[in-house]
C-alpha cells in the first residue's frame, strides 16, 4: 500500500509555486560535473518506464504493439513515484521513449525539485534503427530532433541515447554506422538550434566478441563531431553474491581505463538470483571502479513480466519489493571517490584508428548522409513514375522486382545503403515510399520512349503522375544528388526539427532508442511500425533478389 509519508512528500513537491532549476551536468574529459561548483557527478540511476522493453519492444513477449506510455508527461505518476525514487537515493532516471507532442513541464520540474536528472533514448517503437535492416532516414531524423526539442529546455536533461543495443553481435555490426550517423546529426542539430550543450551517447550490450570494436568505433578518430559524448554499458554479469573478478567487472574497468569520454552502466541488476541484493553497488562506487565509471542505472523501477521490478504499482498504489530495500541500503552506504573539475586535467585520448572492416567488423567509418527531408520531398515531386498506395507485401515484391532487373540494377544506386563499403546513395536516407518511387522512376526513364507507357505499371502497383520541375533550393539539392542519385549533398537540412505538438516552455527547470528490435530480458523479437517494417521488407526483398516482373 502507498506510504502516507510518501504521499505528503509528493504533495509538497507538486505544490511549490516556483518552478525549479537544477545545476546542469557538464562533461569534462571522461567525467561528469555539476556546472556551477565543479563537483563530480556520479549516476545513481533507475530505469523508469512502465510496459516498455528497452530495445523498441513491449514487455509482453511476441507483442507487435507500438503504443507506449510517456512516463514524464504523466504528472500523477511522477507525483506517486518521486518519493520512492528519493528513498532509493536516485539522481537520474532513464526513459526509453517519450511523446514529444506532450508537455513535460510538471514532471520535469517535479524531478528537478527532487534533484533528479533525465537521460532519454531518442527512439521509440516503430521509430528506431533496426539492427537487421538498418537505416538512418528523414523520418527517424524528425523523431530524434523532436525529442531534442521537447527536452532540451530543461536543465535536468542530462543527455540522450542515439541507440540501445542496436549492434548486439558480430552479424549486425554494420548497423553501428547508422547509429553513429544519428549521433553526428543529433549533436549538429543541438548546436544548430543554439541549445545548451547536451551530450549524445550510445548504450551497448555486453557482447564478448565485439565489445572492444564497438566501444572504439563510436569514439575513434579526430572527428569529434560524429563521436559519442558518453558511453553507456548494459551489463548483467554480476549475479547474486558474485565478486569483482568473477563478474568480469575488473576486466571491463581495465578496458575503459583510458577511455576519453564518461562511461557508466546504462543498465545493471542481474535477476538470476532473487531477491537481488545489489552487492555490485559497493564495487561500482568503490575505489577500484569509481575512478573509471560514473555510476550506473538499475533496471528497473516497475515490476513487469520480465521480473526486474523494484516496486509493484497498481493504479495509484505502490508496494515496495524486496529488491527495493536491498538497493536502498546499498546506495545509501556508498561514497565514491571524486575530483573537482578545477583540479582535473584529462589526459585520455580517443583511439587514432577506427576498427578495420573484416570478418568481425562490418561498419565503415564512412557514415550515411545526413537526412534531408527537403531533398527527399523535392525528388519525389519531380518523379513521373511512383508507387500506388499498396500493401507491405506488394511493396516488398515491387522493390525486389525493380532492383533485381539484371542490367538495370543501377536504377537503385541512388538508394544504396552499404555501411560495409561506405557507399550510400543520396536518397538512401529518404523514407521507404520515396526510395521506392526513385527506383521505379529510374527504371521507367531507362526504357525507350515507346515502351514507357507499360514500364510504369508493374501489375497495377505503380502509376504515372505529373512531375514538378524543381526550382530554387530544390533544384540545387537535386543537382548535388546528381542524375544517378550518387552525388554528395552538402547542403544541411533546415533546423526545424519536427512539427509535432508542444515543446518544453522553458519556464520550468530549463532555460528554454535505436534501438534494436529485440527485448533481450523478455525474449520477444519483433519489428515495430509500418514504415520501418516496409523498409525492412524492401531491404530483404532486394537482398534475396526477388524478380517477380509485372510488365
What residues are annotated to the active site? 165, 267
Q: What is the DSSP string of 309-338?
A: -SEEEETTEEEE-HHHHHHHHHHHT-----
**CA dist., res. 402 & res. 404, Å (int):** 6
**CA dist., res. 50 & res. 470, Å (int):** 47
The answer to whether 330 and 282 are in contact (CB under 8 A) is yes
Residue 415 C-alpha cell reads as 538508394
Residues facing residue 319 across a β-bridge: 312
**CA dist., res. 61 & res. 523, Å (int):** 6
Question: 322-332 vs 75-87: helix axis angle to the nearest 10?
Answer: 60
Cα 440 versus chain centre, distance: 32
- Among 171, 490, 516, 540, smallest CA distance to 359 is for 171
**CA dist., res. 516 & res. 297, Å (int):** 19
Peptide bond into 280 cis (omega under 30): no
- Alpha-carbon Rg for the chain, nearest whole angstrom, is 24
**CA dist., res. 260 & res. 251, Å (int):** 17
**CA dist., res. 253 & res. 244, Å (int):** 10
Residue 84 C-alpha cell reads as 520512492
Pairing type for strands 157-164 and 43-47 reads unpaired
- Among 257, 236, 255, smallest CA distance to 247 is for 236
Amino acid at each position: 500500500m502507498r506510504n502516507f509519508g510518501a504521499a505528503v512528500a509528493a504533495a509538497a513537491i507538486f505544490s511549490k509555486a516556483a518552478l525549479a532549476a537544477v545545476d546542469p551536468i557538464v562533461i569534462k574529459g571522461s567525467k561528469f560535473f555539476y556546472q556551477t561548483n565543479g563537483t563530480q557527478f556520479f549516476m545513481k540511476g533507475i530505469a523508469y518506464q512502465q510496459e516498455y522493453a528497452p530495445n523498441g519492444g513491449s514487455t509482453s513477449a511476441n507483442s507487435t504493439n507500438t503504443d507506449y506510455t510517456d512516463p514524464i508527461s504523466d504528472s500523477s505518476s511522477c507525483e506517486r513515484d518521486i518519493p520512492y525514487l528519493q528513498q532509493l537515493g536516485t539522481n537520474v532516471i532513464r526513459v526509453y521513449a517519450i511523446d514529444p507532442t506532450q508537455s513535460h513541464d510538471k514532471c520535469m520540474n517535479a524531478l528537478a525539485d527532487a534533484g533528479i536528472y533525465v537521460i532519454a533514448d531518442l527512439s521509440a517503437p516503430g521509430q528506431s534503427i533496426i539492427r537487421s535492416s538498418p537505416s538512418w532516414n528523414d523520418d527517424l531524423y524528425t523523431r530524434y530532433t523532436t525529442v531534442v526539442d521537447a527536452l532540451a529546455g530543461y536543465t535536468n536533461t542530462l543527455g540522450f541515447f542515439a541507440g540501445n543495443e542496436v549492434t548486439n553481435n558480430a552479424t549486425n555490426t554494420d548497423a553501428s554506422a547508422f547509429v553513429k550517423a544519428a549521433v553526428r546529426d543529433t549533436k549538429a542539430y543541438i548546436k544548430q538550434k543554439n541549445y545548451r550543450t547536451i551530450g549524445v551517447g550510445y548504450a551497448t550490450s555486453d557482447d564478448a566478441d565485439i565489445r572492444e570494436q564497438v566501444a572504439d568505433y563510436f569514439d575513434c578518430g579526430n572527428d569529434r563531431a560524429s563521436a559519442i559524448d558518453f558511453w553507456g554499458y548494459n551489463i548483467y554479469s554480476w549475479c547474486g553474491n558474485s565478486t569483482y573478478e568473477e563478474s568480469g567487472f575488473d576486466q571491463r574497468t581495465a578496458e575503459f581505463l583510458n577511455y576519453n569520454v564518461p562511461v557508466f552502466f546504462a543498465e545493471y541488476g542481474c535477476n538470476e538470483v532473487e531477491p537481488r541484493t545489489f552487492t555490485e553497488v559497493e564495487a561500482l562506487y568503490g575505489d577500484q571502479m569509481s575512478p573509471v565509471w560514473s555510476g550506473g542505472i538499475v533496471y528497473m523501477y516497475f515490476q513487469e513480466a520480465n521480473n526486474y521490478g523494484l516496486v509493484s504499482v497498481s493504479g495509484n498504489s505502490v508496494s515496495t519489493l524486496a529488491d527495493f530495500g536491498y538497493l536502498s541500503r546499498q546506495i545509501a552506504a556508498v561514497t565514491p571517490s571524486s575530483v573537482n573539475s578545477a583540479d582535473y586535467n584529462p589526459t585520455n585520448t580517443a583511439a587514432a584508428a577506427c576498427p578495420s572492416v573484416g570478418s568481425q567488423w562490418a561498419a565503415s567509418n564512412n557514415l550515411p548522409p545526413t537526412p534531408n527531408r527537403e531533398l527527399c520531398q523535392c525528388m519525389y515531386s519531380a518523379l513521373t513514375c511512383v508507387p500506388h498506395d499498396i500493401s507491405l507485401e506488394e511493396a516488398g515484391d515491387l522493390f525486389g522486382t525493380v532492383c533485381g532487373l539484371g542490367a538495370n540494377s543501377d536504377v537503385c544506386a541512388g538508394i544504396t545503403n552499404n555501411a560495409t563499403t561506405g557507399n550510400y546513395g543520396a536518397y538512401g536516407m529518404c523514407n521507404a515510399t520515396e526510395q521506392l518511387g526513385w527506383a521505379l522512376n529510374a527504371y521507367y526513364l531507362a526504357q525507350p520512349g515507346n515502351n514507357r507507357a507499360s514500364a510504369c505499371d508493374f501489375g497495377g502497383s505503380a502509376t504515372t503522375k505529373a512531375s514538378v520541375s524543381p526550382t530554387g533550393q530544390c533544384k540545387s539539392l537535386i543537382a548535388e544528388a546528381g542524375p544517378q542519385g550518387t552525388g554528395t549533398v552538402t547542403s544541411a537540412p533546415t533546423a526545424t526539427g519536427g512539427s509535432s505538438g508542444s515543446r518544453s516552455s522553458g519556464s520550468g527547470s530549463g532555460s528554454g532508442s535505436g534501438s534494436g528490435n529485440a527485448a533481450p530480458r523478455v525474449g520477444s523479437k519483433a519489428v515495430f511500425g509500418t514504415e520501418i517494417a516496409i523498409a525492412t521488407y524492401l531491404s530483404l526483398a532486394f537482398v534475396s533478389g526477388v524478380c517477380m516482373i509485372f510488365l
